[in-house]
């Protein structure tokens, strides 16, 4: 109360004291170097907590480890993921400036830190498997929240922000077999909360930070790097400090035995941005990697399609106005704007262009392919590049896609959900578990040699491209330089498609609030060529074909909006 200087960051006078004795601004969470001795309020009855206390950091008897909280575990996971992303080339300020501030704001919003507890409120402490604690047996442990501090080089492990735990009287006690102090309470109290912290939400935090910085990494890339093991997720808890014992209910919180789902991670990110009251994100402009013009170029290369198609994707983007900054930029809390999935949007634009040029009705694209093949036979000199043959492209891509899909399915089937580091809860059990793990590994090696199975090699280096095609190949499997002249004709000085028709995926979009989707997809109801193209991009993005189909329907209704308004309901085919 005696310190009345204004905060240099927000100009407010609203100071509090951290557990390290430093002053911090309650408005913007800015921590300054000024310190003051903190007067203990333990002996004052009904005193309002003015500082954030570390609580009891004593070590359990029988070497059972530190007392730690669930939010501390998630914070360590976020730290590992942020460092892994930095190793992949993400901007270094992501962890210390962006993700750190998002996490601090989440802790404050959920009243886990940076807040004052109401009078008389205490937190229930959970005894770990009925084991008692010795408050004076071990010195205070360093807080695992230290990475939120301004600098780790200060040598001060007493964090500027710690989980707000009660050091006063205990209002109740619950016996739960859990390594963390609040594991059971966390599951019971937050069961109905939508934004309860979970392992998939750590990926939502990371993607939100990447989007804020406009990093050249889509959500599908992020999830693929997770599956490939470049970003800690499945067994992130094995990197916890040895004294942070994890068992019982903690396994339900931190152990992951399912693949991350695109829709879940994305929806949580949108809800999280609104919950944190974040402002409008930085604009997605034409020169940004997430702009559909740029992403379409990337996916055209990966799908082994002609480079000339990029001109058509740009025309569709411009015609439908989906390249505008107001459409692409995330505005948290604005329910009137549709949230954009940038990678799905770019893939859908390519699908619409293929329908415009080749129709994809299991008939017309094969006629065009035969026509182009005949032209290529007559044009043996290859002037202007060979004509693009859809049938030949289909055969090359299908062969490669089947091989890659089989390889992916086998990797998922062989994936070991157990972590390499065994979990043990005491020194007595440690040696026993290590001997058992060594025995299992020896047996696996012996059976592997007898069966002739090849041990999995090192994981591949991370790459933005899953499929690569080189024009230097002599087998003609690369179609980047192929020409579209065989399917185009000049009209009024502009190139237009020979194909005059177009079929709509759906005449009327569904109500997204009622159906939770704009359109529904069943593969048997659509041409096989269309299904194959969706399957290709479904593999590249690691999402369901229905998600791309839904975005295709939305783009079609933007592209043919005026004609749809005048068209009878029974018609599903129109002329362009």
pLDDT digits (tens, 9 = 90+) for 472-481: 666 668 899 8
Mean pLDDT score of the chain: 78
User: Within 10 A of 395 (CB to CB), how many other CB atoms are there?
Assistant: 12
CB atoms within 10 A of CB 435: 10
pLDDT greater than 60 at residue 489: yes
Do 555 and 338 contact (CB within 8 A), yes or no?
Answer: no
pLDDT tens track for 88-103: 999 989 999 999 999 9
Higher-confidence position of 85 and 131: 85
Q: What pLDDT band is residue 485 in, cutting at 50, 70 and 90?
A: confident
pLDDT of residue 425: 55
SS3 content of the chain, % helix, strand, coil (to 5): 45, 10, 50
- Is the model's pLDDT at 23 over the cut of 60? yes
Q: Which whole number is the average pLDDT over 271-278?
A: 94
Across 334-390, the runs of DSSP E, i.e. the strands, are none
3 state SS of 222: helix
Q: How far, in Å, CA of 15 to CA of 5, rounded?
A: 9
Token look-up 């992501």 returns 94
Distances (CA, A) of 459 to 226, 405, 406, 468, 567: 12, 17, 17, 18, 53
Q: Where are the beta strands (DSSP E) in 136-248?
A: 173-176
Give the pLDDT of residue 430.
61
Can you tell me the distance from the alpha carbon of 457 to that of 439, in angstroms, rounded to the nearest whole number? 22
pLDDT reported for residue 81: 95
Phi, psi of 548 (to 5 degrees): -70, -40
Closest-CA residue to 265 (of 231, 315, 302, 241)? 231
pLDDT surpasses 80 at 416: no
Give the side-chain half-sphere CA count within 13 A for 298: 25
* Cβ atoms of residues 140 and 151 within 8 Å: no
Domains of the chain, by residue range, sit at 1-33, 68-111+195-278, 292-406+477-565
- Report the pLDDT averaged over residues 406-419: 83
Residues making up the chain, counted from first to last: 576
Higher pLDDT, 196 or 102: 102
Q: Which two tokens stand for residue 277?
A: 């009251």
> How would residue 65 be classed by pLDDT, with cut points 50, 70 and 90?
low
What tens digit of pLDDT does each residue of 493-504 get? 778 888 888 888
Q: What is the pLDDT of residue 381?
A: 64
pLDDT at 325: 94
Most confident of 128-142, 180-194, 243-257, 554-568: 243-257
Query: Using CA atoms, how far apart are residues 453 and 432, in angstroms rounded to an integer?
Result: 29
Q: In this predicted model, which residue has the larger pLDDT, 425 or 368?
A: 368
Neighbours of 120 (CB within 10 A): 12
State percent of the chain over pLDDT 90: 40
Selection from 282, 281, 284, 303 nearest residue 292 by Cα: 284
Statement: residue 164 has pLDDT above 50: no
Cα 305 to Cα 394: distance, rounded to the nearest angstrom: 10
Question: Can you give the pLDDT at residue 181?
Answer: 81
pLDDT-derived band at 468 (thresholds 50, 70, 90) equals confident
pLDDT of residue 241: 83
More confident residue, 457 or 381: 381
Identify the DSSP state of 509.
-
For residue 553, what pLDDT band results from cuts at 50, 70 and 90?
very high
């Amino acid at each position: 109360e005696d310190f009345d200087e204004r905060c240099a960051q927000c100009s407010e006078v609203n100071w509090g004291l951290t557990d390290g004795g430093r002053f911090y601004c309650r408005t913007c969470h800015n921590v300054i170097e000024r310190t003051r001795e903190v007067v203990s309020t333990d002996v004052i009855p009904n005193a309002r907590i003015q500082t954030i206390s570390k609580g009891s950091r004593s070590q359990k008897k029988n070497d059972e480890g530190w007392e730690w909280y669930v939010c501390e575990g998630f914070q360590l996971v976020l730290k590992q993921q942020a460092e892994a992303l930095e190793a992949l080339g993400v901007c270094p300020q992501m962890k210390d400036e962006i993700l750190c501030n998002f996490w601090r704001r989440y802790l404050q919003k959920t009243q886990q830190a940076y807040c004052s507890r109401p009078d008389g409120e205490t937190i229930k402490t959970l005894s770990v498997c009925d084991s008692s604690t010795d408050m004076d047996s071990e010195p205070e442990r360093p807080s695992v929240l230290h990475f939120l501090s301004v600098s780790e080089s200060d040598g001060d492990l007493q964090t500027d922000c710690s989980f707000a735990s009660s050091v006063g009287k205990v209002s109740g006690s619950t016996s739960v077999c859990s390594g963390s102090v609040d594991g059971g309470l966390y599951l019971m109290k937050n069961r109905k909360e939508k934004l309860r912290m979970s392992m998939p939400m750590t990926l939502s935090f990371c993607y939100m930070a990447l989007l804020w910085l406009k990093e050249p990494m889509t959500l599908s890339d992020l999830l693929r790097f997770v599956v490939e093991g470049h970003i800690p997720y499945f067994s992130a808890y094995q990197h916890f400090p040895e004294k942070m014992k994890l068992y019982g209910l903690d396994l339900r919180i931190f152990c992951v035995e399912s693949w991350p789902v695109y829709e879940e991670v994305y929806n949580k990110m949108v809800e999280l941005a609104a919950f944190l009251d974040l402002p409008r994100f930085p604009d997605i402009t034409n020169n940004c990697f997430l702009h559909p013009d740029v992403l379409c170029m990337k996916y055209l290369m990966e799908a082994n399609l002609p480079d000339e198609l990029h001109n058509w994707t740009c025309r569709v983007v411009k015609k439908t106005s989906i390249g505008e900054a107001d459409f692409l930029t995330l505005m948290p809390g604005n329910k009137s704007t549709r949230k954009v999935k940038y990678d799905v949007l770019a893939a859908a634009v390519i699908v619409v262009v293929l329908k415009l040029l080749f129709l994809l009705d299991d008939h017309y694209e094969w006629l065009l392919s035969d026509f182009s093949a005949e032209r290529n036979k007559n044009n043996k000199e290859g002037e202007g590049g060979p004509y693009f043959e859809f049938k030949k492209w289909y055969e090359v891509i299908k062969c490669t896609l089947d091989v890659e899909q089989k390889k992916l399915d086998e990797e998922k089937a062989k994936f070991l959900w157990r972590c390499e580091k065994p979990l043990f809860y005491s020194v007595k059990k440690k040696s026993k578990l290590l001997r058992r793990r060594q025995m299992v590994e020896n047996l696996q090696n012996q059976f592997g040699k007898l069966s002739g199975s090849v041990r999995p090699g090192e994981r591949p280096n991370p790459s933005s491209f899953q499929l690569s095609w080189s024009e230097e190949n002599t087998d003609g499997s690369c179609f980047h330089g192929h020409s579209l002249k065989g399917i185009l004709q000049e009209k009024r000085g502009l190139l237009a498609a020979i194909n005059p028709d177009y079929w709509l995926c759906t005449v009327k979009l569904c109500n997204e609030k009622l159906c939770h989707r704009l359109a529904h997809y069943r593969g048997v109801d659509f041409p096989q060529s269309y299904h194959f193209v969706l399957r290709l991009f479904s593999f590249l993005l690691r999402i369901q074909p229905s998600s791309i189909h839904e975005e295709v329907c939305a783009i079609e209704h933007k592209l043919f909006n005026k004609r749809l308004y005048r068209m009878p309901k029974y018609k599903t085919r129109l002329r362009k």
